[in-house]
Structure 1
Amino acid sequence: MKFKTTIQFIANSLNTNTIKHFFSLLAFLLKKNNILNLQITKTYLPLYIKKFTILKSPHVHKTARTQLEIRTYKYTLYISNISSYNMQKLMQILNFSSKNLPHSLTIQFKQKILTKI
């Protein structure tokens, strides 16, 4: 029976540069530690925009308004075909990289183990 392990990363940020920086750092660390034969796929999820309207002058001028928006970018990264030896190295790399994240970046890890019958 063969086991196929995949890890899913979901990254949320207000800035696309922080996500791209994290993924490039992760790819560099994987290449540096000679973890090869991995299938890495990256998908972009839809952009989430939240808009606010604020009154500039709350007493007299009701038409004087300012509109603000917060954009949240989401990316997913799938790493598959991981052996048990590479899994230990990968967990060490993930622990290191998760400690060195920017404050505006949040990352979720999901590990799935699929069995082939």
Structure 2
Amino acid sequence: MPTKIKKFCVIKGPHVHKDGQEHFEIRTHNRLIDILQPTSKTIESLTKLTVPSGVDISIKL
């Protein structure tokens, strides 16, 4: 799955000098895991899985 990249350009100074800009980007990485023939124990362990902040998991049955 492709990485989504959002780029932002912000003017550094308080005036209208367009030469002084800073560039920022946010990268969103997506992963997909297919589990063939999952058991109830597999689904239960995935729902109880602890992940760091900023990481989201969605489970579709």
Please tell me the TM-score bracket, short chain as reference.
Answer: 0.7 to 0.9
Q: Percent of aligned positions with the same letter in both sequences?
A: 34
CA-based RMSD: 1.3
Residue 61 (str. 1) matches residue 17 (str. 2) = yes
- Gaps of at least 5 residues in structure 1 are 1-44, 112-117
The structure in which a higher percent of residues are helix is 1
Q: Which amino acid aligns with 1:64?
A: G
User: What's the secondary structure of 1:109's corresponding residue?
Assistant: coil
Greater RCO, 1 or 2 (C-alpha within 8 Å, sep 6+): 1
**Any residues of structure 2 matched to 1:1-117 within 5 Å, and which?**
45-82=1-38, 87-97=39-49, 100-111=50-61
Relative to structure 1, the CA distance from residue 75 to residue 81 in structure 2 (aligned partners, 3 Å threshold; closer, same or farther) is same
- Gaps of at least 5 residues in structure 2 are none
TM-score calculated relative to the size of structure 1: 0.48
